[in-house]
Amino acid sequence: MKPPRFLSLFTLLSLLGSVSARADKLDEWYKLLPKNTVGVIAIKNTPELLADWDKSSFAKLMQDEEFKKWTAPMIKDGETPWDKALKEETGEGLYDSLKRYPGASMAIFVGDSPEDFSGDSPPVCALSDATGQEKALEEMKAKEAELSIKKDETLKQRTQDVAGVTVHILSDSEDADEGWEDGHAFVDSTLVEATSLKDMQYLITALKSGAGEGSDVVGGHLTRLSKLTDGNTDVLIYLNGETLVQWGLDAALASAGEGAAQMPVSPETIIEALGPKELQSIALTLDLSDAESRIEMAILHPEKPTGFVNLLRSSQGEITLPSFVPADVLSSTVTRYSLLGLWDNLLAMVNKLGPMAAMATMQLGGVEAQAGVKIREDIFASLDDEYIEITDGTLEDQSQVLAIKVKDRERFGGAVDGVKRFAGSGFAAFEETEYLGYQINVIKAAQPSGTELAFCLTDGYFLFSTGPQALLKKVLARMKEPTGPSIWDDARVQDLIARLPKGYGGVGVADGGKMMKVVVDAMSMVQGKVGQGSKKKGKGKKGKGKKAVDPDDTDAALEAIAGGQDSWFDPAAAPSDAMWKRYFGTSISGYYSPADAIHYRAISTPVEAQ
């Protein structure tokens, strides 16, 4: 059986990484999207990718001597794994392949059912601007076909006329629409690629006429996304939630089958309560320029959602940046989020499940009576909608402090005492210590988890801490007397915040250098796990052929992720903290909740500009 292949590997790589210009070409193509479009990966212009890459911190990082020593194990004969993989498909490395593409590109994933994606070649087609580069791209496609035939001798090349256009087909069958490995054609200055005759016919006809059947749903989504992101971005990855969610629901209902009749709550009722159909679209975008880099994520939904999507929305109101966040932490976020609203929305969803579920919520009254606490009135209604997260530490020793502003300290404090009495009767014990006049309660659970948990109620905030208490004590010390600047006072942070559109319901800051150190530690841990697993397996007999990875075998799963690479990094040559700081600076993120979307925007500037 021939291996799965989505057009050329290069096409998807370039679609995932390319950046900037010619948005008008994308707008033309968006109008031609088939009605059964389930996903899109779109870019503006490949040449600017190369220019931006050459100037980027990533390119400079890869030339750093510390980085080279650390990554030496994965560079075989001076060649990176991705260049090696790409050369096997196209005969060229990534950079040289990218130079062939002169403009916009778009991959379109189409399907009428999940079964369409179950084969070796899922239904994906692509459009790429080929202006002035037709010959170079034709040479690339010919080389790809040559390499594919060497790997699979059943593949043959043939041509077919479609609406007056010559289509070049690589297939293991003489049948017009069977066994397509790849197909490509040039319509004026556009390269068209597809893995089926049906899709090729549609795209050629649509391009020649300038009109297609069009997808009002997808077109509407893309228009809304463009408004959120201030126009078309350099890279767009889009999923049609309305189709994908419906496929998932259909599968769930079919799986329940006759057993649904014995369920206390019908699957249809559960679906209605959770509101998954409100998830209309998910999109990720990237925009690069000399001045800044922007990554955005958006979830589209109808106005006034009532399902789980509503639980993700922030409150409205001005953000106050707390001075008690230390300047040297890993990251911090401040969000307007109502826990009272969360509680009410959860209960509303549960009540939709019918009498059986409503009875379960009534049992909360018994718990409230034992604790002497009204959950809604004494706890959630006593808290304001200012929610702060602060994170610091390393991968092995990370700390987090959650701070929630308190509206009614006396009432909330009484509720905390009631919960402590109730939990102390068999569920947990509390060890009280004092620090700078604040009372810290360390939770001693009946079943210890290994992570230290503590909380503290100040005059204005309820603090909950996980991990070592050093971070909690730093926060309390700044609450007592905020000496020195906060993380929010940094000039770089202030500049980045000013770049965010107004109206955010939350704002976050992260130290890129420290974040990369955590990522590197995680990668080293995974590599260590893979190595241990490989040694264990190497002691046994060698079997013939490859076995499927057991999902319960962690070592095998990690080895599969590594792709057979024995070692990617040299742990003895791990880069210094100073190196990461040279290339990764501060980033800022904003969280927005317009009427019909949840929108996240992260901005960073080049280290030199910071």
Given a cut of 60, is residue 289 above it in pLDDT? yes
User: How many contiguous H segments (helices) and E segments (strands) does the chain have?
Assistant: 21, 20
Residue 534: predicted pLDDT = 52
Q: 187 pLDDT exceeds 90?
A: yes
DSSP state of 76: B
What's the CA gap between 123 and 199, in Å, rounded? Answer: 8
Backbone angles phi, psi at 528, to 5 degrees: -60, -40
Give the model confidence (pLDDT) of 124-150 as tens digits: 999 999 999 999 999 999 998 999 899
Rounded percentage of the chain residues whose pLDDT exceeds 90: 52
Strand partners for 134: none
- More confident of the two residues 552 and 130: 130
Q: What is the pLDDT of residue 15?
A: 40
Sort strands 428-435 and 383-393 into parallel, antiparallel or unpaired.
Answer: unpaired
**According to the model, what pLDDT value does residue 540 have?**
47
Q: Would you call 69 exposed, middle or buried from its count of C-beta atoms within 10 A (0-12, 13-18, 19+)?
A: middle
Predicted confidence (pLDDT) at residue 9 exceeds the cutoff of 70: no
Q: What DSSP character marks residue 265?
A: S
DSSP code, position 573: G
Q: Which two tokens stand for residue 391?
A: 């994170």
pLDDT over 70 at 6, yes or no: no
CA distance 189 to 5: 25
The answer to whether the beta carbons of residues 94 and 107 sit under 8 Å apart is no
94 vs 81: CA distance, rounded Å: 11
Comparing CA positions, the residue from 431, 466, 421, 428 lying closest to residue 446 is: 428
For residue 186, pLDDT beyond 80: yes
Whether the pLDDT of residue 477 is over 90: the answer is yes
Residue scoring higher pLDDT (424 or 585): 585
Q: Assess whether pLDDT exceeds 50 at residue 18.
A: no
pLDDT of residue 336 exceeding 80: yes
For the cut 90, the answer to whether the pLDDT of residue 441 exceeds it is yes
Select from 216, 245, 294 the least CA-distant residue to 33.
216
The dihedral built from the CA positions of residue 84, 88, 94 and 99, taken in this order, carries a sign that is positive
User: How many residues can be counted in the chain?
Assistant: 610
Q: Please say whether the beta carbons of 341 and 347 come within 8 A.
A: no
Q: Show contacts of 272-275: CB within 8 Å, 24+ apart.
A: 272/352, 273/307, 273/349, 273/350, 273/352, 273/353, 274/307, 274/308, 274/349, 275/305, 275/306, 275/307, 275/308, 275/309, 275/310, 275/349
Average pLDDT value for the chain: 85
The H or E element containing residue 591 is strand 586-592
* Separation between Cα atoms, residue 218 and residue 520, nearest integer Å: 38
Q: Per-residue confidence at 536, pLDDT binned at 50, 70, 90?
A: low
| Mean pLDDT of the region 71-94 | 81
Instruction: Return the DSSP state at 207.
Output: H
Query: What is the predicted pLDDT for the residue at 21?
Result: 36
Query: Does residue 494 carry a pLDDT above 90?
Result: yes
Go through 168-204 and write b for each residue having 16 or more CB atoms within 10 A of its CB, e for each that does not.
bbbbeeeeeeebbbbbbbbbeebbbbbbbbebbbbbb
Percent of the residues in the chain that have a pLDDT greater than 70, as a whole number: 88
Averaged pLDDT, 98-108: 89
> Comparing C-alpha atoms, which of 137, 182, 5, 13 is closest to residue 83?
13
What's the pLDDT tens digit per position in 520-529?
A: 777 777 776 6
pLDDT for res 427: 64
Query: For 393-437, how does the pLDDT look when each residue is reduced to its tens digit (9 = 90+)?
Result: 887 788 999 999 999 999 999 999 999 988 876 667 889 999 999
* pLDDT for res 426: 60
Q: What per-residue confidence (pLDDT) applies to 562?
A: 44
Q: Quick check: 360 pLDDT over 90?
A: no
Does residue 558 surpass a pLDDT of 60?
Answer: no
Whole-angstrom distance, CA of residue 331 vs CA of residue 401:
11
State residue 581's pLDDT score.
82
Residue type, 400: Q
d(CA 609, CA 229): 23
Amino acid, single-letter form, for residue 13: L
Cβ contact 463:472 at 8 Å:
yes
Residue 475: is its pLDDT beyond 90?
yes
What pLDDT, on a 0 to 100 scale, did the predictor assign at position 100?
86
pLDDT in tens, 588-597: 999 999 999 9
- Strand-strand pairing, 180-187 and 190-194: antiparallel
In terms of pLDDT, which residue wins out, 563 or 198? 198
pTM: 0.85
Spell out where 178-260 has E strands.
180-187, 190-194, 235-240
Least confident of 16-30, 173-187, 358-372: 16-30
- What phi-psi label fits residue 333: left (phi over 0), alpha (psi between -120 and 50 degrees) or beta? beta
End-to-end CA distance of the chain: 53
Lowest mean pLDDT among 63-77, 179-193, 206-220, 510-524: 510-524
Which stretches of 56-109 are DSSP H helices?
A: 57-62, 65-70, 81-90, 94-98
Write the pLDDT tens digit of every residue in 208-262.
998 878 778 999 999 999 999 999 888 899 999 999 999 999 999 888 887 777 7
Distance between CA 156 and CA 454 in Å, rounded?
Answer: 67
More confident of the two residues 316 and 526: 316
Give Rg (Cα) of the chain: 28
Residue 206 structure tokens: 């649509």
User: Which of these, 456, 493, 502, 492, lies nearest to 475 by C-alpha position?
Assistant: 456
**Mean pLDDT within 312-331:** 94
